Amino acid sequence: MGASPGKLAELFNRYYTATATAAETDELFALIRQSENDVELAALLRHAWENSDFGGQEFPAAVSDRIFGAIVQPVENEIYEPEYEAENVRSLPWLRYVAAAAVLAGLIFFWKFRYSPAVVQTAAVKPKATDVAPGGNRALLTLTDGSVIVLDSAKNGLLTWQGATAVSKKDSGQLVYLTKKTGEPAKFLQTNTLSTPKGGQYQVVLSDGSKVWLNASSSIKYPTSFTSAERRVEITGEAYFEVAKDKTKPFRVFFGGSEVEVLGTSFNVMAYDDESATETTLVEGSVALKNKGQQKRLRPGEQGAIAANGSIATSVVDVDEATAWKKGFFYFRDASVEEVMRQISRWYDIEAGYEGKIPVRQFTGKVSRNVNISELLNMLRYAGVNCRIEDKKVIISF
């Protein structure tokens, strides 16, 4: 039976604004798969599409038909070949304009699609493949003496003491440091390292109250207690910071040969080795980005990118794109197949392989990171990119 009045709209809006709980998301997906909700779903998609950044984009009829077929007849873990009558789909006049609002197996994703003739070719049906679950709260904590705590399996509560600092694990995927005031200076600097694997993420609250979110395949090295004249941490990969204000102790983040200096602010640093540049995106406050004698001060909404040659370029960006991972989303804007696959590889702990020449495709959209990889890869398939899963490897073929 269909949804109760207003229920589908309520769940749709909560999911679209990233406020839905896991239970609400599951309920929404179930309702989307029920054909009796198609009319209301169509209206919600049209409204969301027309009010999105991409609402002016129009798509070829064949592309629109195929995407809508994925909405009303999702098939998990395999490439889907529509078996519906195209005339039925073309009877929806607004579909030409909302084709990019694809819900594949309950997955809401807005596409800006750079059309090429190859895209409208229907992919051949492939056998079902092993699916891959999304990442989660997984990390390793390396203590001062070199011992390691596996946080995914550690019990909640007090984990250990590092000098006068208590280290505790919370039930929300969070590590918390709390230093007792003893009135005595620390005998020596103790440092810990929090590291996430591919397919992992974690949050740490440092002893000064600063909060750090680690994305997949990342690490942060920090003192268990900030006792010197500065608060210094080192990162690899990607991290989002909410720095506690302390005018007497500047907060410095080091990555590679670069540095971000702040007093109190919120910002994101992306410094993966396999990306062409490192990016520091300021959400609020003020930071100074330094590299090889250069310095750029960022304002909220600006991003500083350090290229391989060490030069720093600043630009105004959409901060939601840079910080979407922290809120549980992938957010692509004019991203190539390779850029999309790098993010997918880190979060799902898979390898990406390519067969043939990589085509020119650009994707723009936001999609939940809390779905199996098969559902996410359907987006690539319906954009004309052939892909298959082989064990822990995704093969892109052309």
- 262-310: per-residue pLDDT in tens? 988 999 999 999 999 999 999 999 999 999 999 999 999 999 999 989 9
DSSP per residue, 47-105: HHHHTSTTTT----HHHHHHHHHHHHS--TTS-----S-HHHHHT-TTHHHHTTEEEET
**pTM across the whole model:** 0.72
What does the alpha-carbon distance between residue 25 and residue 220 come to, in Å, rounded to a whole number?
Answer: 32
Mean pLDDT of 309-327: 94
What does the alpha-carbon distance between residue 193 and residue 149 come to, in Å, rounded to a whole number?
Answer: 11
pLDDT of residue 176: 97
Nearest Cα to Cα of residue 60 among 106, 109, 118: 118
Q: Which residue has the tokens 């990406």?
A: 352
Domain coordinates in residue numbering, the chain: 7-132+346-397
306 — phi, psi (to 5°)? -105, 115
Return all residues near 146 (Cβ < 8 A) that are at least 6 apart.
Answer: none
Higher-pLDDT residue of 17, 285: 285
Return all residues near 42 (Cβ < 8 A) that are at least 6 apart.
Answer: 92, 94, 98
Whether residue 91 is predicted with pLDDT greater than 70 in this model: the reply is no
Mean pLDDT of 138-161: 96
Q: Is the dihedral of CA 370, 213, 327, 168 positive or negative?
A: positive
Contact in structure between 159 and 184 (CB atoms under 8 Å): no
Whether residue 1 is predicted with pLDDT greater than 60 in this model: the reply is no
By CB neighbour count within 10 A (0-12 exposed, 13-18 middle, 19+ buried), where does 9 fall? Answer: middle
Higher-pLDDT residue of 167, 52: 167
DSSP per residue, 185-217: --SS--EEEEEE-TTEEEEEE-TTS-EEEE-SS
Whether residue 205 is predicted with pLDDT greater than 70 in this model: the reply is yes
Q: Of 154-168, 232-246, 345-359, which range is least confident?
A: 345-359
Tell me the two tokens of residue 223.
């003192």
Q: Of 115-129, 194-208, 321-335, 340-354, which range is least confident?
A: 115-129
Q: Is the dihedral of CA 381, 15, 331, 63 positive or negative?
A: positive
Higher-pLDDT residue of 385, 193: 193
What does the alpha-carbon distance between residue 62 and residue 68 come to, in Å, rounded to a whole number?
Answer: 10
In 263-301, DSSP assigns E strands to 266-271, 278-284, 287-291, 294-298
Over residues 222-250, the pLDDT tens digits come to: 999 998 899 999 999 999 999 999 989 99
